[in-house]
Amino acid sequence: MAESNFVDYVKICCRSGKGGRGSMHMHRAKYIPNGGPDGGDGGRGGHVFLRGNHNYWTLLHLRYERHVFATHGGNGGKSGSTGADGEDRYIDVPCGTVVYNAETGEYICDVTEDGQVVMLLKGGRGGLGNKHFATSTNQAPRFAQPGEPMRELTIILELKLLADVGLVGFPNAGKSTLLSALSSARPKIAGYPFTTLEPSLGIVSYRDGQSFVMADIPGIIEGAAEGRGLGLRFLRHIERNSLLLFMVPGDTDDIRKEYEILLNEVKTFNPELLDKQRVLAITKTDLLDEELQQMLSEDLPDDLPHVFISAVANKGLSELKDVLWKALNSESNKLQAITQQETLVHRNKDLAWLRSEMEDEGEDEEIEFIDEEDIEDVEDLEDFEYEDE
Ligand SMILES: Nc1nc2c(ncn2[C@@H]2O[C@H](COP(=O)(O)OP(=O)(O)OP(=O)(O)O)[C@@H](O)[C@H]2O)c(=O)[nH]1
Ligand SMILES: [Mg+2]
């Protein structure tokens, strides 16, 4: 895929800091024979955190930051001095980022709010100095604890946009035109399929200063589940929307059939998406006359509300906003929003699928943990020899 500023997949290697080792030291001073142990503790290694930041809309800023390493804790010193703690590292991500383990595909966590902090890797604890080990029978312990080793993890960050309304439709259905008519977003619009290649968000203002967010995603076609067209890659951006707005042009031969094809593709991607509220918009109605519109409305699917609109002629748009607002604020939707926190299930990733996605994104190159020296250092720690200082 061509380089683009919309980055919704990133793979990052993270490493926390190792704990500093405790010191083995005996107090030494003039005229104080056998001063006793006074080795200080090691500092703790730095943690690695994820932090939600609403100033970011994509993962672009992380594309070139593939290694996030916290620093190690300092070693303990003589006279009971404690080593410095390692520096923590924060990975700032846009709200709506889901984190998976890159090796196993397992779901790790989800960052949805601005300022939300999730600890990804804990830094190693610092070892205790020998002064902690003095007992009545061993008053001069000649050993101290090594620090805990660091932890490593390769993660995949996946962005799922947070919007209230997601637009679902075939290419050319008029999705981008609707978004630009309702909000100040300016997606590209043209009379050929697949104009939109990456999702965009717009804020739709409603009465009394209220508003909701609408997401325009690239069009889907029949067979998208098997990878046709742009595939279902972008469908995950509507996974978190509370409402799906299906869009079918009014000049389509069989509106009901087209709606069913779309519904089926969505279902194949994730059956849970069918639990969401749905609204059908019949677009481009400036091309239809009243009579035809009347005829069409008799043969529309009856399991969801429908609105006839024309984004170009500004027809039916306020009615559409009313319908959307009502559905967004309906009791069932509120209930769903409350329980959604617990029920929004992020399925673990299928590894093969994940790899093919990464290849598409040019993210497949192997990232290796650099800094071999540090790794040797850990081995050092394991057969740590307590030197006599
Ligand atoms: N007559 C008429 N044409 C429209 C209307 N809405 C959109 N169009 C035209 O339909 C074509 C496609 O519109 P887009 O908004 O780019 O369609 P899209 O659904 O975003 O298409 P993709 O991004 O390719 O998936 C453009 O030529 C628009 O000018 C409408 O209400 N009336
Ligand atoms: Mg478009």
- Ligand 1 centroid–CA 319 distance in Å is 20
| Amino acid 342: pLDDT | 45
| Mean pLDDT computed over 189-209 | 84
Structure tokens at 134: 């003095």
Does the structure show a pLDDT above 80 at 357?
Answer: no
User: Cα 220 vs. chain centroid, distance in angstroms?
Assistant: 22
Helices (H) and strands (E) in the chain, counts: 7, 14
- Given 1.20.1600.10, 3.40.50.300, 3.40.50.2000, 3.40.50.620, which CATH number is that of 165-347? 3.40.50.300
pLDDT tens-digit map of 207-264: 877 888 888 888 888 877 777 777 667 887 888 788 899 999 988 888 888 899 989 8
Helix then strand then coil, in percent of the chain rounded to 5, is 25, 20, 50
User: Is any atom of ligand 1 closer than 6 Å to the C-beta of 171?
Assistant: yes
Give the nearest ligand 1 atom to 193 CA.
24
- Ligand 1 pocket test, pick from 195, 197, 230 with the greatest ligand atom count within 8 Å of Cβ, gives 195
User: Is any atom of ligand 1 closer than 6 Å to the C-beta of 283?
Assistant: yes
Each residue of 342-352: b (16+ CB within 10 Å) or e? eeeebeebeee
> In this structure, which residues have their CB less than 5 angstroms from ion ligand 2?
176, 195-196
152 exposure class (CB count in 10 Å sphere: 0-12, 13-18, 19+): middle
Q: How many angstroms separate the first and last alpha carbons of the chain?
A: 59
Ligand closest to 172 (CA) is 1
User: Is any atom of ligand 1 closer than 6 Å to the C-beta of 381?
Assistant: no
Ligand closest to 316 (CA) is 1
Task: Say which residue the tokens 């999705």 belong to.
Answer: 175
- Ligand 1 centroid–CA 192 distance in Å is 8
User: Is any atom of ligand 1 closer than 6 Å to the C-beta of 185?
Assistant: no
Q: What is the CA radius of gyration of the chain?
A: 29
The single-letter code of the amino acid at 126 is: G
244 forms bridges with which residues in the sheet? 166, 278
8 A C-beta contact, residue 367 and residue 13: yes
pLDDT tens-digit map of 15-46: 999 999 999 999 888 888 888 899 899 999 99
Residues contacting residue 344 through CB under 8 Å, at least 6 positions apart: 110, 240
Does the structure show a pLDDT above 80 at 359?
Answer: no
| Amino acid 343: pLDDT | 46
User: Is any atom of ligand 1 closer than 6 Å to the C-beta of 217?
Assistant: no
Does the structure show a pLDDT above 80 at 105?
Answer: yes
| Amino acid 344: pLDDT | 53
| Amino acid 74: pLDDT | 92
The single-letter code of the amino acid at 242 is: S
User: Is any atom of ligand 1 closer than 6 Å to the C-beta of 193?
Assistant: yes
Give the closest residue to 171 by CA, choosing from 101, 108, 249: 249
- Ligand 1 centroid–CA 249 distance in Å is 9
Q: CA–CA distance from 120 to each of 88, 106, 155, 234, 350 (Å)?
A: 11, 14, 10, 26, 21
Domain map of the chain by residue range?
A: 9-159+360-382, 165-347
Report which DSSP code applies to 300: S
| Amino acid 190: pLDDT | 86
Task: Say which residue the tokens 């799906």 belong to.
Answer: 244
pLDDT band at 356 (very low <50, low <70, confident <90, very high): low
Residues contacting residue 148 through CB under 8 Å, at least 6 positions apart: 18, 19, 45, 124, 125, 126, 127
Does the structure show a pLDDT above 90 at 197?
Answer: no
Give the domain 9-159+360-382 fold: Spo0b-associated Gtp-binding Protein; Chain: A, (2.70.210)
